[in-house]
Structure 1
């Protein structure tokens, strides 16, 4: 395993650890999810370039598109929650309770 793959592996697990630990604010959770998706995108792109496959580049573009859609939906959810509940704390959101 070369150094770029090991660095991306570490970045991916930092995103997972950040997702587990940062459950207080919605914005920090969204940033950790973006870190996960960007590290996966870079890893798939490097893998497809090293093996000279063009099909994997299509998967990386699809992953990047879903990442952008997830970011826009998450920011829309953040704005609507902060307008209705006046906070972005995930602990104070009891949406399933009346």
Structure 2
């Protein structure tokens, strides 16, 4: 249920890049906790959880770098002010 709320926010928020990135991080966090509790219930090794957390952090830092470069080049994070034709 919480996962679908995060996906709904991701699909419905098209105005700001920051809100989109935060909803992606929320979905990654919900998936992290669900995988962690699933693996703990069967007492498997938790090394996969560490790999998933590393990829989530890399995804977050990549999104933050895109946000910073967009704010530096356009002055804000609105998608309406961003044009694909500009370099």
Report the TM-score when normalising by structure 1: 0.82
* Counterpart Cα distance in 1 of 2:8 and 2:31: 15
Q: CA RMSD in A?
A: 1.1
Gaps of 5+ in 2: none
Matched, 1:66 2:50: no
1:43: which partner in 2? 34
Point out 4+ residue stretches in structure 1 off by more than 4 angstroms: none
Please give the residue correspondences for 1:1-98 in structure 2 after superposition, counting only pairs within 5 Å. 10-54=1-45, 57-95=46-84, 97-98=85-86
What is the TM-score normalised by the length of structure 2?
Answer: 0.91
Deviations 1:16-52 (A, max 9, x none): 0000011110000000000110100000000001011
Gaps of 5+ in 1: 1-9
Higher RCO structure (Cα 8 Å, ≥6 apart): 2
Q: Number of residues paired by the alignment?
A: 86
